[in-house]
Chain A
Amino acid sequence: MFTKVLIANRGEIAVRILRACREVGIETVAVYSEADRQALHVRYADEAYLLGPAPSRESYLRGDKIIEIARKCGADAIHPGYGFLAERDDFAEACEEAGIAFIGPKPSSIAAMGDKAVARATVLKAGVPVVPGTEDVGNMTDEQLLAVASKIGFPLLIKATAGGGGKGMREVVNLDEMPVLIQSARREAEAAFGDGNVYLEKLVEGARHIEIQILADAHGNVIHLGERECSLQRRHQKLLEESPSPFMDEELRNKMGAVAVKAAKAVDYINAGTIEFLVDKDKNYYFLEMNTRLQVEHPVTEMVTGIDIVKEQIRIARGRQLSYTQDDIKLNGAAIECRINAEDPYNGFLPSTGRIEHSLLPTGPGVRVDTGVYPGFEITPYYDPMIAKLIVWGETRGQAILRMRRALEEYRIVGVRTNIPFHQTMMNSHRFMAGQYDTRFVEERFSMEQIEEGRSEFPDIAALIATLVTHDQTQRAAQIVRRNERDTSNWKWVGRWERMHR
């Protein structure tokens, strides 16, 4: 049983994992890039070791170096977090070979689910419904893809075989534009994953993105922790998640939960994992993919189930039985998570970099903030723009929305622009309040332009504040001019100065 865990990640998730380790009395080891010397995970960990220069390729993606550090410092387990090396079966395998416990699934499960085409084929065999698309394939040529496209039907999606996070994904509405889109998808996939392979999938219209959290131990116990609603996305990046989904009922939850468990068993899954589904208007659901790791949005499930998923991961990796059976799992109340990104929602969501000058976190009942930044920390262009996750819990979904509004208004981050106003606008959106949204909502039917729609509430206050700032500046500028004037005559001043230096 391991007693020292190396966390092969950075940012809020590294901090999240550190906290779980601390609470169960496990020693922690952080690794960091040159850009992250001052990062919170480095400051919180018992030990910290430098990996290399800022770019991920030379630091957080250096599996060989990470294992070497683990060996040297005597860490007997590695938690990969999400992203970076979390879904690399070769890394999990290398850990195993080095005699280090990998807090995650077996390499074979990662491999089976990591190749999206293999994953589809595997779960299909286990009787799990999948979105119609290219079935058999790994390396299809452009000609083959074009030939099979009309059989699947338009609109369809080009997706990267090695993909995730919407990279290498393109939507196609007709055959004419397809060759160009295949090229750009391949290029993006090549750049992001070093693998330009793509496959096709029918686009399910008006679909919701709903995922099921599962936990599986080494003794054959597999349970699910209900769903997370992740339909609010922009450019295939999730922005906000909630549990339970306002679209879900108990019957559908049980059905999808059972199917998720089946999919996990199909690859002999161990540890925490997530099965993503697309659900159409008529509540037909299709397997999308399995994420063989801890998810960004795991806290919403923790809030409604009361289960600490990271601690369960550690427990599972230590070879023990799950602390819960399926009957123990009850969803209590509602939880919402807003991903706080360093992006300017008023300027095309362009990433914003810079030093965090000031930060005031929302607190109070039912509020949780997972973050890796603090005042003085520099947001660099090397990593993901997500700087914090704001999670709230409420007795009902309505209570959770009201609490999220309150918490967003309390949150102050100065130094970089954030998407907090986006979330505030979302919390005021009638469609969101009614739970009527799908994966296209943000891009097609949502607007930040409330002022033009005449919904602005305090234009007079805004005008007054801007005027007072202008006035302040004018006054201060006048003072700077005056500052050079000495209160005594220059002759007297020179005399004093000379005497002082005598």
Chain B
Amino acid sequence: MKYAASINGNEFTIEIIDEKTVIVNGKTLTVNFDSVSGQPVYSLIVDGKSYEAYVYPGDEDWQVLLQGQLYPVKVEDEREKRLRAAAGGAVADTGEYHMKAPMPGMVVSVSVEEGQEVEKGQVLVILESMKMQNELKSPRAGTVNRIRVKSGDSVEQRQTLLSVA
């Protein structure tokens, strides 16, 4: 199976031939790949060189933490790549954004009102967790349209706090 992987626009063509053989950018390599006791820690031995990495699923990519560095890797198989090419490139930044609590905690304040225009990076909510006040910022410009929490509320992880359209 053929895949296209990219890190910040840097593309790698990777073909998986069988369990032990891969071709990376035209170069054939012998690999031995294993997850370490079922954890998101993976061990890779490639042509005798041993690496270990954490692999976390991101929103649209994999976050690979390797020797103290984080690599955001987008992986597509050939079919997905062709589909995307047919659709005419990347999906635009539209649709509703739902701000979710990144951790359980208590809402200290909601700094915006429904219907308010917000800038990218503007503080929307202050959430207290582990004795620290954390500012949650808008990932893009838009209009706040549904606020589901108020100050003093306890929230669970991933609970939706408000939406920006």
A pairs with B: yes
Say whether B73 faces chain A, with CB atoms less than 8 Å apart: yes
Which stretch from A175-183, A284-292, A309-317, A377-385 is at the chain B interface?
A377-385
Say whether A488 faces chain B, with CB atoms less than 8 Å apart: no
Say whether A465 faces chain B, with CB atoms less than 8 Å apart: yes
How far does the Cβ of B130 sit from chain A's closest Cβ, in whole Å? 4
| Pairwise interchain contact A358-B41, C-beta atoms closer than 8 A | yes
Interface mask (B21-59 → A, CB under 8 Å = 1, otherwise 0): 010110001010101010111101010000101110000
Say whether B141 faces chain A, with CB atoms less than 8 Å apart: no
How far does the Cβ of B80 sit from chain A's closest Cβ, in whole Å? 10
How far does the Cβ of A60 sit from chain B's closest Cβ, in whole Å? 12
With a cutoff of 8 Å between Cβ atoms, the chain B residues found around residue A468 in the complex are 16, 22, 31, 33, 42, 44
| Pairwise interchain contact A352-B103, C-beta atoms closer than 8 A | yes
Which stretch from A88-96, A242-250, A262-270, A450-458 is at the chain B interface?
A450-458
Contact of B51 among A414, A461, A469 (CB under 8 A): A461
Which stretch from B4-12, B85-93, B112-120, B142-150 is at the chain A interface?
B4-12
How far does the Cβ of A409 sit from chain B's closest Cβ, in whole Å? 6
CA distance A4 to B143 in the complex (A): 61
| Pairwise interchain contact B3-A462, C-beta atoms closer than 8 A | no
Interface mask (A442-483 → B, CB under 8 Å = 1, otherwise 0): 000000101110001111111111111111101000000000
With a cutoff of 8 Å between Cβ atoms, the chain B residues found around residue A448 in the complex are 70
Say whether A347 faces chain B, with CB atoms less than 8 Å apart: yes
How far does the Cβ of A418 sit from chain B's closest Cβ, in whole Å? 10
| Pairwise interchain contact B68-A425, C-beta atoms closer than 8 A | yes
CA distance A464 to B49 in the complex (A): 13
Say whether A149 faces chain B, with CB atoms less than 8 Å apart: no
Interface centre among A424, A452, A467 (most CB of B within 10 A): A467
Say whether A195 faces chain B, with CB atoms less than 8 Å apart: no
| Pairwise interchain contact A424-B67, C-beta atoms closer than 8 A | yes
With a cutoff of 8 Å between Cβ atoms, the chain B residues found around residue A466 in the complex are 5, 55, 61-62, 64, 71, 73, 75
Interface mask (A346-387 → B, CB under 8 Å = 1, otherwise 0): 111011110001100000000000000000000001111100
CA distance A491 to B120 in the complex (A): 62
CA distance A347 to B134 in the complex (A): 11
| Pairwise interchain contact A358-B37, C-beta atoms closer than 8 A | yes
| Pairwise interchain contact A461-B68, C-beta atoms closer than 8 A | no
Say whether B129 faces chain A, with CB atoms less than 8 Å apart: yes
Say whether B1 faces chain A, with CB atoms less than 8 Å apart: yes
Question: How many chain A residues touch the partner (CB < 8 A)?
Answer: 49
Q: Please, which residue of chain B has its CB at the minimum distance from the CB of A342?
A: B130
With a cutoff of 8 Å between Cβ atoms, the chain B residues found around residue A348 in the complex are 134
With a cutoff of 8 Å between Cβ atoms, the chain B residues found around residue A382 in the complex are 130
CA distance A383 to B131 in the complex (A): 7
With a cutoff of 8 Å between Cβ atoms, the chain A residues found around residue B10 in the complex are 459
With a cutoff of 8 Å between Cβ atoms, the chain B residues found around residue A35 in the complex are none
Contact of B103 among A353, A470, A472 (CB under 8 A): A353
| Pairwise interchain contact B66-A353, C-beta atoms closer than 8 A | no
Say whether B65 faces chain A, with CB atoms less than 8 Å apart: yes
How far does the Cβ of B100 sit from chain A's closest Cβ, in whole Å? 12
| Pairwise interchain contact A465-B64, C-beta atoms closer than 8 A | yes
If A385-B130, A385-B132 touch, does A457 touch B62 (CB 8 Å cutoff)?
A: no
With a cutoff of 8 Å between Cβ atoms, the chain A residues found around residue B131 in the complex are 192, 383-384
| Pairwise interchain contact A353-B71, C-beta atoms closer than 8 A | no
How far does the Cβ of B120 sit from chain A's closest Cβ, in whole Å? 15
How far does the Cβ of A195 sit from chain B's closest Cβ, in whole Å? 16
Contact of A353 among B31, B39, B104 (CB under 8 A): B104
CA distance A502 to B125 in the complex (A): 63
With a cutoff of 8 Å between Cβ atoms, the chain A residues found around residue B53 in the complex are 461-462, 465
With a cutoff of 8 Å between Cβ atoms, the chain B residues found around residue A22 in the complex are none
| Pairwise interchain contact A471-B16, C-beta atoms closer than 8 A | yes
CA distance A306 to B84 in the complex (A): 63
With a cutoff of 8 Å between Cβ atoms, the chain B residues found around residue A171 in the complex are none
Say whether B157 faces chain A, with CB atoms less than 8 Å apart: yes
If A383-B130, A464-B22 touch, does A451 touch B70 (CB 8 Å cutoff)?
A: yes
| Pairwise interchain contact B103-A464, C-beta atoms closer than 8 A | no
Interface centre among A235, A420, A470 (most CB of B within 10 A): A470
| Pairwise interchain contact B75-A467, C-beta atoms closer than 8 A | yes
Q: Please, which residue of chain A has its CB at the minimum distance from the CB of B53?
A: A465
With a cutoff of 8 Å between Cβ atoms, the chain A residues found around residue B6 in the complex are 463
If A381-B130, A421-B65, A452-B8 touch, does A464 touch B104 (CB 8 Å cutoff)?
A: no
Say whether A412 faces chain B, with CB atoms less than 8 Å apart: yes
Say whether B94 faces chain A, with CB atoms less than 8 Å apart: no
With a cutoff of 8 Å between Cβ atoms, the chain B residues found around residue A385 in the complex are 130, 132
Which 10 A-B pairs have CB atoms at the shortest separation, nearest pair first? A424-B68, A462-B71, A466-B73, A463-B5, A466-B62, A463-B12, A462-B64, A351-B130, A470-B75, A381-B129
What are 12 residue pairs bridging A and B, where the CB atoms are less than 8 Å apart in the complex?
A346-B63, A353-B157, A381-B104, A421-B65, A462-B66, A467-B16, A467-B73, A468-B44, A469-B42, A470-B3, A470-B62, A471-B3
Q: Given A350-B103, A458-B66, 13 more contacts at CB 8 Å?
A: A348-B134, A381-B104, A421-B68, A421-B70, A448-B70, A458-B67, A462-B7, A463-B73, A464-B31, A464-B44, A464-B46, A465-B53, A474-B1
